[in-house]
Structure 1
Amino acid sequence: MQFAHALLNEGHELASVFFYREGVYNANLLTSPASDEYDLVRAWQKLNTQHGVALNICVAAALRRGIIDETEAGRLGLPSANLQPGFTLSGLGALAEASLTCDRVVQF
């Protein structure tokens, strides 16, 4: 998050973030950090709403970890979805497209 803010503060554009592996937990609607903890999920959502940064979640990693949107819940016959607003389930195509249209790709 600090890198994203530093990038934007220097006048650079941050078009998208692609979350995969354990990073998909950032999109879980059911998280509730303690009041004295930094709420990273809400910080990502704020980045999305204030700066238009696309928050793409690897669909394969998300499904393995129980994070689904309404479409996948219906397709899989599950009773509800738990994808945070502002996040989008995406395939590796979203990462590839972002890689083709940017100057730099940074991985953490």
Structure 2
Amino acid sequence: MKYTLMINEGPYQRQSSDTALHFARAVLAKGHEVIRVFFYHDGVNNGTRLSVPPRDDRQIQQAWSDLAKAHSLDLVICIAAAQRRGITDAKEAKRQGLDTDNLLEGFRISGLGQLIEGSVEADRTLVFGG
């Protein structure tokens, strides 16, 4: 089975990002494929490297990054939602005249077309968060 996941909430707002992360781990462990994880709305906050949760708290952003490395996952941050929330990669930071970027390793910024493409390629598209 092939899945595309869409995450609409930030890592510490509710359980959506946690639940999606656990789901992705479980389906990968069962031999299924995660074609793409698309972060939209406040979900783009899963891709910032500047969030510093307490050490005894869940390290959700890093967990996504680690999972992407381990399984070559395509973690896509919506560009429009990211720009509204101050998340940028090096290319976009330069284009906007910013002095730094803050995209976490393993994530990339792109448009909604990536969600559509992932949904077309997947057997199932699951949405996490309102």
> Would you call these one fold, judging by a TM-score over 0.5?
yes
Could you tell me which runs of 5 or more consecutive residues in structure 1 were left unpaired when the two chains were aligned.
Answer: none
Following the alignment from structure 1 to structure 2, what is the Cα–Cα distance between the partners of residues 70 and 52? 21
1:69 and 2:65 equivalent? no
State how many pairs are aligned: 108
1:10 Cα deviation after fit = 1.8
Query: 2:91 & 2:28 partners in 1: Cα distance?
Result: 33
Shift of 1:12: 0.8
Contact 1:15–1:52 (8 Å) recurs in 2: no
Partner SS, residue 17 of structure 1? strand
Structure 2: 5+ residue stretches without partners? 1-20
CA contact 2:89–2:109 (8 Å) conserved in 1: yes
Q: Say if 2:109 is the partner of 1:105.
A: no
Per-residue CA distance 1:24-59 (angstroms, 9 max, x = gap): 001111011111001001110111000111100000
Residue 20 of structure 1 is matched in structure 2 by: 40
Q: TM-score, normalised by structure 2?
A: 0.80
- One-letter code of the match for 2:34? L
Q: Which residue of 1 aligns with 2:114?
A: 94
Write 1 or 2 for the structure with the bigger share of strand: 2
- What is the percent sequence identity of the aligned residues? 47
Asked if structure 1 preserves the Cα contact closer than 8 Å seen for 2:37 and 2:74, the reply is yes
Runs of 4+ in structure 1 deviating by more than 2 angstroms, as ranges, are none
- In the alignment, the residues of structure 2 paired with residue 5 and residue 74 of structure 1 have an alpha-carbon distance, to the nearest angstrom, of 35
Root-mean-square deviation over aligned CA pairs:
0.8
Partners of 2:113 and 2:63 lie apart in 1 by 25
Specify the alignment match of 2:24 in structure 1: 4
- TM-score of the pair, normalised by structure 1: 0.96
CA shift, 1:15, in A, is 1.8
